[in-house]
Amino acid sequence: MTDSYAVIGNPVEHSLSPGIHAAFARQTGEDIAYEKITAPRDGFESVARRFFAAGGRGLNVTVPFKLDAYEFADRLTERARAAGAVNTLALQSDGGILGDNTDGAGLVADIRNNLGWPIAGARVLMVGAGGAARGAMLPLLEQGPAQVHIANRTAIRAERLAREFARHGVLSGGGFDNLDSLQGTFDLVINASAASLSGELPPLPGALIGPASHAYDMVYGAQPTPFMSWAAERGAKTADGLGMLVGQAAESFMLWRGVKPETAPVLQELRARLQAQ
């Protein structure tokens, strides 16, 4: 019997998730069907309940419903609780719904496994203090970086996020206006802000990055983002978030099916498709 899964969002037409999970299913021999569901912005709960009542096994959740999914879940994983948001819902054997957040795990898997960049012992700068940064924080800190500094346009949000995760590592936070006071370059700079979505560059001093640095933008596209171009001009190695997208999907697939697919061939296929557009 074919098991049903879907991605739910608004808008959701652009989602690459159906193709990704179809590739995972072919690779692993799992019998699944995967669709896109557009829910009214005030109708997540009713749509999700209908999906599971009709026999659905799991949902990927995208904007703007990750907070709704957090409230919808009957129980949460530790990383979902830490993120304060859910991007994956899974039906459990007792009929309950488990909420998970696989975004941070996808980020870490891409940085470590696909790119081969070190996180353990690294000095890390996280740009942005919103949901994307929060979702990545616990999995990132579990890798043992030497230090994580969170920089945000509104300093108090960065400081608050640093305090919330302080027991998991060495953290600090502040506004963009005090970045000049930080000494030396960072080993890893992660852009978790929304700046690249509008073609903008966060106000980052060039002295924060150099030829030994690595720069990762959570946004992806056919061309390098402004953040990636800025980092490359200073000699840093760069990457976008396409591998994170595939990595978080693999974590969801593992949660649902109990088997971990290989991400590299799927990532290569998506990259070739993007560059051909």
Is 116 assigned a ligand-binding role in the annotation?
no
Specify the DSSP class assigned to residue 93. Answer: T
Is 129 assigned a ligand-binding role in the annotation?
yes
Is 212 assigned a ligand-binding role in the annotation?
no
Among the options 36, 66, 237, 260, which is catalytic?
Answer: 66
Q: Which amino acid is at 66?
A: K
Euclidean distance between CA atoms 273 and 277, whole angstroms: 7
Is 209 assigned a ligand-binding role in the annotation?
no
Please state the φ and ψ torsions of residue 4, each to the nearest 5 degrees. Answer: -100, 135
Is 241 assigned a ligand-binding role in the annotation?
yes
User: Is 237 among the residues known to form the active site?
Assistant: no
**Considering only CA atoms, which of 140, 87, 97 is closest in space to residue 118?**
140
Euclidean distance between CA atoms 118 and 269, whole angstroms: 25
* C-alpha to C-alpha distances, 172 to 152, 204, 243, nearest whole angstrom: 11, 17, 27
Is 103 assigned a ligand-binding role in the annotation?
yes
Is 243 assigned a ligand-binding role in the annotation?
no
Euclidean distance between CA atoms 104 and 137, whole angstroms: 7
Q: Is 187 strand, coil or helix?
A: coil
Euclidean distance between CA atoms 253 and 244, whole angstroms: 14
Phi-psi region of 172 (alpha: psi -120 to 50; beta: other; left: phi over 0): beta
Euclidean distance between CA atoms 273 and 193, whole angstroms: 25
Contact of 89 with 59, CB cutoff 8 Å: yes
Is 96 assigned a ligand-binding role in the annotation?
no
The packing angle between helices 264-276 and 17-28, to 10°, is 140
Is 229 assigned a ligand-binding role in the annotation?
no
Is 221 assigned a ligand-binding role in the annotation?
no
Residue 221 Cα to chain centre, angstroms: 15
Is 128 assigned a ligand-binding role in the annotation?
yes
Is 217 assigned a ligand-binding role in the annotation?
no
Is 62 assigned a ligand-binding role in the annotation?
yes
Is 156 assigned a ligand-binding role in the annotation?
yes
Is 9 assigned a ligand-binding role in the annotation?
no
**Which parts are annotated binding residues for NADP(+)?**
78, 128-132, 152-157, 218, 241
Question: Which are the catalytic amino acids?
Answer: 66
**Which parts are annotated binding residues?**
15-17, 62, 78, 87, 103, 128-132, 152-157, 218, 220, 241, 248
**Which parts are annotated binding residues for shikimate?**
15-17, 62, 87, 103, 220, 248
